Amino acid sequence: MGSLEVERKTIGWAARDPSGVLSPYTYTLRDTAPEDIFIKITCCGICHTDIHQIKNDLGASNYPMVPGHEVVGEVVEIGTDVTRFKVGDCVGVGTIVGCCKNCRPCNADVEQYCNKKIWSYNDVYTDGKPTQGGFSSSMVVDQKFAVKIPDGMAPEQAAPLLCAGVTVYSPLTHFGLSKIAGLKGGILGLGGVGHMGVKLAKAMGHHVTVISSSDKKKEEAMDHLGADAYLVSSDTTQMQEAADSLDYIIDTVPVNHPLEPYLSLLKLDGKLILMGVINTPLQFISPMVMLGRKAITGSFIGSIKETEEMLAFCNEKEITSSIEVVKMDYINKAFERLEKNDVRYRFVVDVSGSKLDQEE
């Protein structure tokens, strides 16, 4: 079809203030361009970061805000210069919808580290209009920031992979861990990102230990997700016995927590990889790092290239997300439950089945 020349309205569910309560909201999609695709949204995953944004936990929220950055939908129109997709394709859109395309990260195909990246919501696009996310009936996106969902992969299964999946996949590959079978890895925190960490690390041939503050999730971790070991961080004896045993730890905890207990678990040259968005300082004493040449590092989502690789890997290894599908009118309850960690392990909103276009 031809280029997208006119603005159009869509309906989403938006937060209006830091209460974080979402309700129906009609808005105009941004101006489109020849390289844009117009997507009818099928489903969208709910990420813990969405809570930070709708509640202004990071102090930079703008309202009204339609959250959602694990978006899967069908291409219904393409611009005149679109070459990567065709009408009818099932595509995914993640956290980023724009970048400068000229800086070192952009030139290295790690555009998520571009200082001028544009977030898929709670940001301003190049035309000066606010970006809005995937809890809506449709969206317009530059073809560069969409990925094709592999044939045979269910949309609701693909959605969490666009954030939770690639967030784990990226550091495992970047730091060279994915190519070394038999490594001993730890997954700290068993939520949406953590459960994908277990599945991906296992598929890479690693021995995986889930680390949690209690034994409540032991059966799930071992029997359902396939972890090799389970470590209760509040059990001093267990922690002492596990000292110097792990090559890496993927730390997915999104709230302030001490780092020293987990640094002690790492072997020589071990890496503690931070992934949780935390808005208060973390602390550790330097000998905990120095005396084992250990590294504390971070990783942020993944690039489009990494997302494509991750989707292919998950498709090949038949890795799926553990999800609970809900309708849009349940979204506020879903956020309440997510704050209490009451989901196994990712909510996905059935957008197309929620009939948003009939709400107003």
What per-residue confidence (pLDDT) applies to 49? 92
Whether the per-residue pLDDT at 1 is higher than 80: the answer is no
Question: What's the pLDDT band for 341 if we cut at 50, 70, 90?
Answer: confident
User: What's the confidence (pLDDT) of residue 4?
Assistant: 54
| Confidence (pLDDT) at 356 | 87
For position 359, what pLDDT does the model report?
59
Confidence of residue 277 (pLDDT cuts 50, 70, 90): confident
Bridge partners (DSSP) listed for residue 54: none
Percent of the chain with pLDDT strictly greater than 70 = 97
Cα first-last separation, the chain: 28
pLDDT for 319 beyond 70: yes
pLDDT for position 133: 98
Beta strands in 67-165, from DSSP E residues, in sequence order: 70-78, 90-93, 96-98, 118-119, 138-142, 146-148
DSSP-assigned states of every residue in 154-209:
-HHHHHHIIIIIHHHHHHHHHTT-TT-TT-EEEEE--SHHHHHHHHHHHHTT-EEE
pTM of the model: 0.94
**Is the separation of the CB atoms in 254 and 241 below 8 Å?**
no
State the chain's mean pLDDT as an integer: 95
CA dihedral of 126, 66, 13, 163, whole degrees rounded to 10:
120
Point out the least confidently predicted range of 146-150, 152-156, 234-238, 274-278: 274-278
| Distances 244 to 140, 184, 271, 289 between C-alpha atoms, Å | 49, 11, 12, 12
Residues 6+ apart with CB under 8 A from 118: 96, 97, 98, 99, 124, 125, 126, 131
Query: Would you place residue 100 in the very low, low, confident or very high pLDDT band (cuts 50, 70, 90)?
Result: very high
88, with CB counted inside 10 A (0-12, 13-18, 19+), is: exposed
| 6 pLDDT tier (thresholds 50, 70, 90) | low
pLDDT of residue 31: 72
- Give per-residue pLDDT as tens, 34-87: 999 999 999 999 998 999 999 999 899 999 999 999 999 999 999 999 999 999
pLDDT of residue 5: 57
| 3 pLDDT more than 60 | no
Mean pLDDT for the stretch of residues 298-307: 97
In angstroms, the CA 264 to CA 190 distance is 20
121 neighbors 98 (Cβ within 8 angstroms): no
pLDDT in tens, 228-255: 999 999 999 999 999 999 999 999 998 8
Q: Note the residue count of the chain.
A: 360
Rounded CA-CA distance 209/314 in Å is 20
Q: What does DSSP assign to residue 151?
A: T
Taken in order of first residue, the domains within the chain and their CATH numbers are 9-163+322-350 (3.90.180.10), 165-298 (3.40.50.720)
Residues 183-242 have pLDDT tens digits of 999 999 998 899 999 999 999 999 999 999 999 999 999 999 999 999 999 999 999 999
